[in-house]
A and B are shown apart, each in its own frame.
Chain A
Amino acid sequence: MSHPHGQREISLVVNGEAKTFRAYPMERLLDVLRHRLGLTGAKEGCGEGECGSCSVLMDGALVNSCLVPVMQAQGSRIVTIEGLAQEPELQALQEAFLECGGAQCGICTPGMILAAHHLLDKKQNPTLENIREGLAGNLCRCTGYSQIIEAVAAASKRAGATE
């Protein structure tokens, strides 16, 4: 059996748009998003899957994109912070972050908003404990989390109110 070496063709859907490009199979999804696709919203804070600032959605699941070789994202639907900006429900989250002070330096914010979005997607009326658990993989050094948790709670109430 011969095995392809070098760059391969990768096709995936990013923020609703089909993307096809060549990349080494072990390029990290994070680097592909940031450098090949120009989507710099996902950030590298640690490269070890600890800080969550690289979080994106892969087929609806929150993942740390620094730990995903792009080959394993072949054929996936990826959603980044840039993609979330389109959805109306996310606007509730973004507004809540702005009102509650959930973003200070902003570097954890894209990942944090994705994690919050993922949580609210799975659980419409999260308790404070649910929110804490849902965000526990996203480190924030600026806020101490209080205002982030309030923002997520506020957004979930708003989303509930409009249903």
Chain B
Amino acid sequence: METERIVGTSAPRKEGRDKVTGKAVYIDDMSLPGMWYGATLRSRVPRGKIQKITFSPEIAWDEFVVVTAKDILGKNCIALITDDQPCLADGVVNHPEEPILLLAHPNPHLLSKAIQAVSIEYQPLPALFTIEESERQDQIIWGKDNTFKTYLVEKGDVDSVWAQADYVVEGEYTTGAQEQLYIENNGVIAAFDPDRGMTLWGSLQCPYYVHRALMTLCALPENKIRVVQTETGGAFGGKEEYPSMIAGHACLLAMKARRPVKMTYDRAEDMVATTKRHPSRTRHRTAVRRDGKILGGEIEFVIDGGAYTTLSPVVLSRGTIHAAGPYYWPSIRIRAKAVATTAPPQGAFRGFGAPQSLFAIERHMDRIAATVGISPEEVRRRNFLRTGETTATEQTIHEPIDLNRLLDRGLELSNYHAEKQRFARENASGATRRGIGIATFLHGAGFTGSGERYLASEVEVEGCADGTVQVLASSAEFGQGTKTVLCQVAAETLGLPYEDVGIAQPDTGLVPNSGPTVASRTVMVVGKLVQLAAEKLRQRLRAAGLPEKYSRDEFRNACAKYVAEKGALKEWAKYQAPSGIFWDDEKYRGEAYAAYSWGVYIAQVAVDLATYSVVVEDFVALQEVGRVLNPVLARGQITGGVAQGIGYALYEKVVWENGRMQNGQMTNYIMPTSADLPPIRVYFEELGNEHGAFGAKGIGELPMDGPAPAIVNAIENAIGVRFDSIPLLPEDIYAGVAESFDVAGAPPSQGAR
């Protein structure tokens, strides 16, 4: 293999210049002639039957276009997995902020007043606000039993391990909702022409998801809908499925108004009305041998999906599969369920179930260590998965990953042992207590099980007459570097300069469906397809006379000649499931993911005993990712994900009241500023991988999994108080400390753990 020229280098971001000069065009920067503006009237009660809608007379309603469920020509639902979520509530609302009707007007400033001028009378219906209330089933608010989905994973003979156990370790771990908080709020523009059909521009991750949803909603055929992704200011999963809703709304208004309609949310609406990370509760019961080896155990994993299904079954799936962590379980039973509550539906957020269940197992490992009397490091070493061993779903790990060695490196990079000893000494006095904590974890890349086969992704690579090459894929850029790395892959494969390769804007009228931009699949799955299509393109040109080794000019001439003589020069590649990947959807067993990335994260924290606040002072993020295609971009993914993980652990709390977020403003929903975060130290290992482009695996979501448990483990090390719930705010730390500390205000003596 030749030395790679582009892959593995920090090729400059394709759209970078536009972003640093303010030229990049986001949806709210766009305007169409004759465009009107839309707004949504939302439920002001948790759950109820709509009795009466009154339009107050002081508004000139004849100037407005009003859309209700009755205006929907297709099916009143946001097509996704289960079609249970209405686009507009029809007679009943099942959560606060549920959309009921839509208004459009040429003057956006009149919309807020108009929304206030619509009053609705409701007959209240019973509401459930927590996992516990939902599973008790005192009321049924969804389906027959408030349960969107369940999974059962069984391996070995769990019931027999208890008798052999030297210890039975139990724990319950909970995580709260988390708001994606992309700095660009949701926004779309819809334009409808009776002949050409519907065009929708928007800030989104998955143009084809929106396309499919609009087909169902608007009863339009496939070729009469065009969805175009505009420059997207952050997404993190929050724009995976939600945009179908706002897009549906804008389209309904555009069809009725016969004009283009722009809908954008302000921060308050975006925060209270759109999806968040599923809150979770995990219960562990583990049979452990004297030396800390896990014999087997039971895990109950529950997520709170809000009022409608959306993606809960898939979030549950990923959380379930990751619940066992990077460890070998001779036997295990995982019972998982996603339940309904009266809240706006939860949805995709980076990690997608794994941060929840990995928080639990990583806290639980420290608990096992404490029970058995060994160190957090040692308990992990004794249980790490090894090449050739099977996971909870009985997938044999073929990757040559050596987690012990990875942990060695992480401990060395963080100076773990020396720091831990130093803290134990220094913590004896003083108002600041320091601690250090470990999290080890994995993250599967691509869709679970048969998901990729079902997606059947396609990409195209086109050779243009001027010798440049265009990648055509539906993978969206929203900061992660999609455009850059896919062009790097194509350029490398074709032996062309990076500057000669471009990528089309994801426009369903132009690009094939390469699946959604989610699940850490872009580089691994779509990148591989780009590599294959580019190779096919090269072969096509070779067959037409291009020599084996060619210069840039020769390539250009070959393209020009081909296009002149034969027309379009386009090659495509379609996903083929690798052989030997077998997944049983019934038994939830088999090869869950084609590849895993592996992480060792180590957090060092300082707890201020005067204010109970925690500051992360040092953070080592070490991961094995197959191949780093672009060092600057890869590092950016990790630092950004770790920052979100630190927020998840220590800062970001959704305050709920009767199913509605009360702190829907940036002043009161707290994400870290530059003054709150340490430099995040990022290190990679590359063992390659047969499946991904140039051996790359996914990295987008991995960094979300490790920070929270590493931090909470560190806090326990610092002050000797065990916390099993996040977010962990100073108020919570105070409450825990007040219970544990003696009257004089001193913490219990430092346990040497």
Contact A141 B675 (CB under 8 A): no
Contact B12 A107 (CB under 8 A): no
Contact residues, A26-72 vs B (CB, 8 A): 34, 39-48, 50-51, 53
Contact of A50 among B180, B235, B667 (CB under 8 A): B667
- A156 within 8 A of partner (CB): no
- A141 to B17, alpha carbons, bound, how many Å? 20
Q: Look across to chain A and name the residue whose beta carbon is closest to the beta carbon of B679.
A: A146
Q: Look across to chain B and name the residue whose beta carbon is closest to the beta carbon of A95.
A: B20
* A106-B632 in contact given A46-B267, A50-B666, A141-B182 (Cβ < 8 Å): no
Contact A144 B643 (CB under 8 A): yes
Contact B674 A148 (CB under 8 A): yes
- A149 within 8 A of partner (CB): yes
In the complex, chain B residues whose CB is within 8 Å of the CB of A85:
21-22
- A139 to B671, alpha carbons, bound, how many Å? 8
Contact B640 A142 (CB under 8 A): yes
- A78 within 8 A of partner (CB): no
Contact residues, A59-105 vs B (CB, 8 A): 80-82, 85, 93-94, 97-105
In the complex, chain B residues whose CB is within 8 Å of the CB of A147:
632, 635-636, 639
- A143 within 8 A of partner (CB): yes
Contact B639 A146 (CB under 8 A): yes
Interface residues on A, range: 35 or more
- A110 to B236, alpha carbons, bound, how many Å? 21
Contact B266 A47 (CB under 8 A): yes
In the complex, chain A residues whose CB is within 8 Å of the CB of B185:
44-45
- A94 to B22, alpha carbons, bound, how many Å? 11
In the complex, chain A residues whose CB is within 8 Å of the CB of B101:
none
Bits for B20-59, please: 1 = Cβ < 8 Å to A, else 0: 1111111011000000000000000000000000000000
In the complex, chain B residues whose CB is within 8 Å of the CB of A40:
22, 25-26, 28-29
* A106-B642 in contact given A43-B184, A53-B183 (Cβ < 8 Å): no
In the complex, chain A residues whose CB is within 8 Å of the CB of B680:
144, 146
Contact of B234 among A80, A99, A105, A131 (CB under 8 A): A105
In the complex, chain A residues whose CB is within 8 Å of the CB of B236:
141
Contact of B15 among A106, A131, A138 (CB under 8 A): A106
- Majority SS at the chain B contact face: loop
In the complex, chain A residues whose CB is within 8 Å of the CB of B25:
40
In the complex, what's the smallest C-beta–C-beta distance from A129 to chain B, in angstroms? 9
Contact A140 B635 (CB under 8 A): no
In the complex, what's the smallest C-beta–C-beta distance from A119 to chain B, in angstroms? 11
Contact A110 B22 (CB under 8 A): yes
- B383 within 8 A of partner (CB): no
- A39 to B234, alpha carbons, bound, how many Å? 21
In the complex, chain B residues whose CB is within 8 Å of the CB of A99:
10, 12, 632
- B16 within 8 A of partner (CB): yes
In the complex, what's the smallest C-beta–C-beta distance from B459 to chain A, in angstroms? 23
In the complex, chain B residues whose CB is within 8 Å of the CB of A148:
674
- A41 to B640, alpha carbons, bound, how many Å? 23
- A95 to B642, alpha carbons, bound, how many Å? 25
- A15 to B319, alpha carbons, bound, how many Å? 51
- A60 to B89, alpha carbons, bound, how many Å? 50
Interface residues on B, range: 35 or more
* A80-B22 in contact given A105-B183, A141-B234 (Cβ < 8 Å): yes
- A108 within 8 A of partner (CB): yes
Contact A45 B183 (CB under 8 A): yes
* A141-B636 in contact given A44-B28, A110-B22 (Cβ < 8 Å): no
Contact B22 A48 (CB under 8 A): no
- A12 within 8 A of partner (CB): no
Contact A144 B640 (CB under 8 A): yes
- B715 within 8 A of partner (CB): no
In the complex, chain B residues whose CB is within 8 Å of the CB of A44:
28, 185, 266
- A41 to B18, alpha carbons, bound, how many Å? 10
Contact A107 B640 (CB under 8 A): no
Contact B233 A94 (CB under 8 A): no
- B579 within 8 A of partner (CB): no
In the complex, chain B residues whose CB is within 8 Å of the CB of A136:
673-675
Contact B643 A97 (CB under 8 A): no
Contact A46 B22 (CB under 8 A): no
In the complex, chain A residues whose CB is within 8 Å of the CB of B640:
104, 141-144
- B479 within 8 A of partner (CB): yes
In the complex, chain A residues whose CB is within 8 Å of the CB of B679:
146, 149
- B66 within 8 A of partner (CB): no
Contact residues, B184-216 vs A (CB, 8 A): 184-185
Q: Look across to chain B and name the residue whose beta carbon is closest to the beta carbon of A143.
A: B640
Contact of B231 among A39, A106, A137 (CB under 8 A): A106
Contact A141 B183 (CB under 8 A): yes
Contact A45 B639 (CB under 8 A): no
Q: Look across to chain B and name the residue whose beta carbon is closest to the beta carbon of A44.
A: B28
- A118 within 8 A of partner (CB): no
Q: Look across to chain A and name the residue whose beta carbon is closest to the beta carbon of B25.
A: A40
- A93 to B667, alpha carbons, bound, how many Å? 29
In the complex, chain B residues whose CB is within 8 Å of the CB of A107:
26, 182-184, 233-234
* A105-B184 in contact given A98-B13, A136-B675, A142-B234 (Cβ < 8 Å): yes
- A70 to B183, alpha carbons, bound, how many Å? 24
- A113 within 8 A of partner (CB): yes
In the complex, what's the smallest C-beta–C-beta distance from B721 to chain A, in angstroms? 27
- B478 within 8 A of partner (CB): yes
* A105-B479 in contact given A141-B182, A144-B680, A145-B643 (Cβ < 8 Å): yes
* A138-B674 in contact given A103-B13, A107-B184 (Cβ < 8 Å): yes
- B19 within 8 A of partner (CB): yes
In the complex, what's the smallest C-beta–C-beta distance from A16 to chain B, in angstroms? 15
* A97-B20 in contact given A47-B267, A106-B15, A147-B639 (Cβ < 8 Å): yes
Contact B632 A81 (CB under 8 A): no
- A136 to B674, alpha carbons, bound, how many Å? 5
* A104-B479 in contact given A136-B675, A142-B234 (Cβ < 8 Å): yes
- B665 within 8 A of partner (CB): yes
Contact B24 A101 (CB under 8 A): no
* A101-B478 in contact given A106-B233, A144-B642 (Cβ < 8 Å): no
In the complex, chain B residues whose CB is within 8 Å of the CB of A105:
182-184, 232-235, 478-479
Bits for A115-136, please: 1 = Cβ < 8 Å to B, else 0: 0000000000000000111011
Contact B21 A81 (CB under 8 A): yes
- A140 to B236, alpha carbons, bound, how many Å? 13
Contact of B183 among A39, A51, A144 (CB under 8 A): A51
In the complex, chain A residues whose CB is within 8 Å of the CB of B673:
135-137, 139, 145
Contact A149 B22 (CB under 8 A): no
**Residue of A42, A45, A132 with most partner-chain B CB within 10 A:** A45
- A100 to B633, alpha carbons, bound, how many Å? 9
Q: Look across to chain A and name the residue whose beta carbon is closest to the beta carbon of B232.
A: A105
* A142-B667 in contact given A104-B479, A108-B183 (Cβ < 8 Å): no
- B181 within 8 A of partner (CB): yes
Q: Look across to chain A and name the residue whose beta carbon is closest to the beta carbon of B20.
A: A94
Contact residues, B465-519 vs A (CB, 8 A): 478-481
- A146 to B16, alpha carbons, bound, how many Å? 17
The 4 closest A-B pairs by CB, nearest first: A41-B22, A107-B233, A144-B643, A105-B479
- Given contact pairs A106-B20, A145-B674, enumerate 12 new A-B contacts (beta carbons under 8 Å): A51-B666, A82-B22, A97-B20, A98-B13, A104-B480, A107-B26, A108-B233, A141-B181, A141-B236, A144-B643, A147-B636, A149-B679
Report which B residues bind A (CB closer than 8 A): 10, 12-13, 15-26, 28-29, 180-185, 231-236, 266-267, 478-481, 632-633, 635-636, 639-644, 665-667, 671, 673-675, 677, 679-680
Q: What are 28 A-B contacts defined by CB distance under 8 Å?
A: A40-B26, A43-B233, A44-B185, A48-B665, A48-B666, A48-B667, A51-B183, A98-B17, A100-B632, A101-B633, A103-B13, A103-B19, A105-B182, A105-B479, A106-B18, A106-B20, A107-B26, A107-B182, A109-B22, A110-B22, A135-B673, A135-B674, A137-B673, A139-B671, A141-B643, A143-B640, A144-B644, A148-B674
